[in-house]
Chain A
Amino acid sequence: MKATLDYILHLADNALILGQRNAEWCGHGPVLEQDIAISNISLDLIGQARSFYQYAAELQGNGSTEDTLAYLRHERQFRNILLLEQPKSDWAYTTLRQFFFSAFQQLLFQQLSTQADERIGAIAEKSLKEVNYHLRWSSEWVVRLGDGTEESRRRLQQALDDSWPFVNEMFQAENFELESGVRVEELQAAWTEKVKACLAEAGMEMPVTSLTRHGGKKGIHSEHLGYILAEMQYLQRSYPGCEW
């Protein structure tokens, strides 16, 4: 089954927005080595976004390119999930969010690499090695922080409480996913098991809350996305077609 344009944009937007968020750590990481680690992850994600946008641009035609898709679409046209556009907050929030998303991406890309659209499958397969590393890196941070000092544990607990309501959106199938033959809801059990095991190792409890927030896949975003786009798109909108 061929992926729909909206689904490809959803995959691209997810990678771009988290890449942009992680890039905010560049020059501000807790130590030099981790500053480079998070910046590498950011660049991996932006690389994934480019592959997806290039494919989307080919499907859309009309002179659209990866750049027009990233820089000239409006907030309501972005299909990323809400979790990824939340502010980077502290190191605990950033690494926990990366862990949640990488665990999801790993399962999703495994599914995509065996079925679906051939082009999407190829991008997913190529990205899996990166994702496996992101998952390893971020899960170690979750364990380290949960099992660390009183302060690191408190911060990780705060990050868990803050991010948990956004988790469910990953597994709530949108039409563009169903039409592309992707079954995100089937990934939830494996994801939960993986997260539970990591949190147990970190000495943390799985959060219990019925509060869920979603809407990103439909283009209904939180107040934070507009600010990222303003920063990211400013140059192309002020100086259309500008190259450097």
Chain B
Amino acid sequence: MNTSIRRFFYGDIPGQESGGTPAPEGPKNDWPLWEVFIRSKQGLDHKHVGSLHATDAQMAIENARDVYTRRQEGVSIWVVKSQDIHASRPEEAGELYDPAADKIYRHPTFYDLPDAISHM
């Protein structure tokens, strides 16, 4: 079977016409890349912790268990194929994010809060 798989550096999510630089040809490893999310304890969100290679979802979870939770970092693991993540394009950063820069009225900083409220 002839397969061609492009490899990407960590953080560069492959996607149609999105950013991301193919990694140079390294040692042969054509297992797909997976992104790993760990929940550190009950009630908290899963947080992205890194990525790894695995042949299937089951192996990805076990690899994540061995690579990312060996020092008691988590109680739950999510994995998702990196290729299933779609990312915004770095060259569009201007039009996407800059317009928010001068809209200070979107920040709730114009309200006077009573001193009794401490967690805002």
Interfacial residues, chain A to chain B (CB-CB below 8 A): 31-34, 36-37, 40, 136-137, 140, 144
Contact = CB atoms under 8 A, between A and B. Distances in A.
Given A33-B52, A33-B53, A140-B59, A40 B31 contact: no
Contacts of B59: 140
Interface string B80-115: 000000000000000000000000000000000000
A32 B54 CA distance: 10
Contacts of A31: 29, 31, 53
Contacts, number: 28
B58 interface: yes
A140 B66 contact: no
B67 interface: yes
B58 A33 contact: no
22 contacts: A31-B53, A32-B53, A32-B67, A33-B53, A33-B54, A33-B66, A33-B67, A34-B63, A36-B66, A36-B67, A36-B70, A37-B62, A37-B63, A37-B66, A40-B66, A40-B70, A136-B62, A137-B62, A140-B58, A140-B59, A140-B62, A144-B55
Contacts of A144: 55
A232 to B, nearest CB: 24
A137 B58 CA distance: 10
Interface string B49-73: 0001111001100110011001000
Query: Of residues A33, A136, A137, which shows the largest number of chain B Cβ atoms within 10 Å of its Cβ?
Result: A33
A230 to B, nearest CB: 30
Given A33-B53, A34-B63, A140-B59, 17 more contacts: A31-B29, A31-B31, A32-B52, A32-B53, A33-B52, A33-B63, A33-B66, A33-B67, A36-B67, A36-B70, A37-B62, A37-B66, A40-B66, A40-B70, A136-B62, A137-B62, A144-B55
